[in-house]
């Protein structure tokens, strides 16, 4: 993901100037992952959609061993702005990046 393009997209969606939006995309996974299910705490939970739109759980390691390197960590995108702009920026983030599952 290109931080400069994300900054522009968020600015356009929120009406905030790009100079007041700060994007932090770490170069590697950086936050330990802790899921409610502790049966396999290092599993990366994901799914695929059927043609009907239903979600089917899948294990990424079944598709590639590459994903084993990321087990247990998340790569977060952090977006910062001034207090007065946070609500509008939060709405733009949800629109562009998706709503948080928390």
Domain boundaries, the chain: 1-25+77-102, 31-72
Which has the higher per-residue pLDDT, 53 or 101?
A: 53
Distance, CA of 5 to CA of 97 (rounded, Å):
13
35 Cβ neighbours under 8 A, 6+ residues apart: 41, 43, 45
Which has the higher per-residue pLDDT, 25 or 44?
A: 25
Would the pLDDT of 10 be above 50?
yes
Total residue count of the chain as it appears in this document: 102
Would the pLDDT of 17 be above 50?
yes
**Radius of gyration of the chain, Cα coordinates, nearest whole angstrom:** 17
Contact 13, 96 (CB under 8 A): yes
Confidence tier at 36 by pLDDT (50, 70, 90): very low
pLDDT at position 65 is: 64
Q: Once rounded to an integer, what is the mean pLDDT over residues 75-80?
A: 82
User: Concatenated DSSP letters for 33-92?
Assistant: ---S--SSTT--EEEEE-TTS-EEEEEGGGT-GGGGGGTTEE---EEE--GGGHHHHHHH
Q: Of all residues in the chain, what percent carry a pLDDT higher than 70?
A: 64
């Amino acid at each position: 993901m290109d931080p400069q393009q994300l900054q522009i997209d968020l600015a356009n969606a929120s009406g905030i100037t790009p100079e007041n939006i700060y994007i932090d995309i770490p170069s590697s996974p950086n936050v330990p992952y802790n899921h409610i299910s502790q049966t396999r705490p290092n599993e990366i939970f994901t799914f695929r959609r059927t043609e009907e739109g239903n979600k089917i759980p899948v294990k990424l390691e079944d598709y590639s061993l590459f994903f084993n390197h990321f087990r247990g960590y998340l790569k977060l995108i952090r977006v910062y702005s001034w207090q007065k702009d946070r609500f509008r920026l939060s709405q733009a983030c949800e629109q562009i990046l998706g709503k948080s599952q928390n």
